Amino acid sequence: MNRTSASGWLPRLLGAALLLALLMLLGTTRLAAQPHAPRPTRAYTRSAHLMGSHFTFTAVSDDDSLAWQALRAGLRETQRIDHLFSYWDSTSQVVKINRLAGIRPVVVDQEVYDLIERTLKISQLSGGAFDITFASSDKIYQFDRQDHARLPDSATVRNSVRRIGWQKVQLDVATHSVYLPEKGMRINLAGILQGYGVRRAEQLMKQMGIAGGLINGSGDVYCWGKQADGSAWRIAIGDPARPHSVSSWLTVSDLAVVTAGNYEQYFTVAGKYYGHIINPHTGYPATGLRSVTVICPDVELADALDDAVFVLGPAEGLAMINRLKGVDATVITDDGQTLVSKGMQLNPYHSAAPVGAPVTAAKP
């Protein structure tokens, strides 16, 4: 009887064990089939001192490795451009062009040739308000934030800009050469270089798979995609009259917001501000504006246009912006008034008066 009981108990035990193993296998399979929890999307940031300014690179991603790789690539690309176009680096092609002014043309990389060619087109567009040969001027001002007794005499000022003239720059498309025909002529691409660096870094990061990001090159901002929480980017515009405060703000995506101001490098005469942006036609510092912000899809173009608007002044500068498709601007005048172009959608902390079109600015 014990044998009979044992023979009946053993198959039942083996059956139960097989059933348990089968259930465990099914459970393991179900667990393996469960997808991994999605990695959180976050913003990764890296900063560096480039082109004499503070740069911040931000990548929005759910992939740590990709984000850091893209940030390093964007930074290295900006460093490469800084070296290639530097006004100070003795090995740069721009320095070589300046050194051989009045002597012979200089064959340059296609990239250098193309950027210089684009600057000359912007000079033509702005009537010479933007001019990379501004570097040919004599240094007759000291922008030390101090009150000066007087401006230099008119003869000194006129003489200081005698070599300036974008029309003088000679490009040879067949040889990719650049020639400055007068000794003492110089070019300096500082007015567009940060924007170009931001544009190239942004393009590279996008190609690597970064769907959202922001690059800020000391006021030259380009943002694309969305923030980590899915919202659009909000860009603040500083108030020249109140340092470290905000005058207005914009909600943007896939756009450049570039701001230039004369409230950091300046001097005063009898209480009047004279900023570091020089009118290449007159030799005098551009007056009438404290801040210019240009908004458009091309950060390189925006970087050049803000200087042009500064030189042209509020009325003529905004009139130029109003003629350009897809470009908007807001300016702050010497007396603190905020003006906007006809298509500008601004969120100011005080009222803004549109120039050149019957558009009312948004209320705070």
Burial 51-61 (b: 16+ CB within 10 A, else e): bebebebbbbb
306 is in an annotated binding site: no
Contact 136, 163 (CB under 8 A): yes
Give the up-direction half-sphere exposure of residue 233: CA atoms within 13 A in the CB hemisphere: 23
Non-local (6+) Cβ contacts of 190 within 8 A are: 51, 87
Contact 356, 340 (CB under 8 A): no
Residue 6: other Cβ atoms inside 10 A: 9
Q: How far is CA 336 from the centre of its chain?
A: 25
Amino acid at 241: A
Q: How far apart are the first and last CA of the chain?
A: 96
Q: How far is CA 183 from the centre of its chain?
A: 33
Non-local (6+) Cβ contacts of 129 within 8 A are: 123, 279, 280, 281, 307, 308, 309, 311, 312, 317
Taken as a whole, the chain contains a residue count of 364
Q: Residue 81 in 3-state DSSP? A: helix
3-state helix, strand, coil in the chain (%, to 5): 35, 25, 35
303 is in an annotated binding site: yes
The rounded distance, in Å, linking the Cα atoms of 266 and 268 is 7
Strand partners of residue 171: 178
Q: What is the dihedral of CA 194, 198, 199, 202, to 10 degrees?
A: 170
Cα→Cα distances 73→48, 62, 255, Å = 13, 18, 21
Residue 297 DSSP symbol? S
Annotated binding site: 191, 303
Annotated binding site for Mg(2+): 191, 303
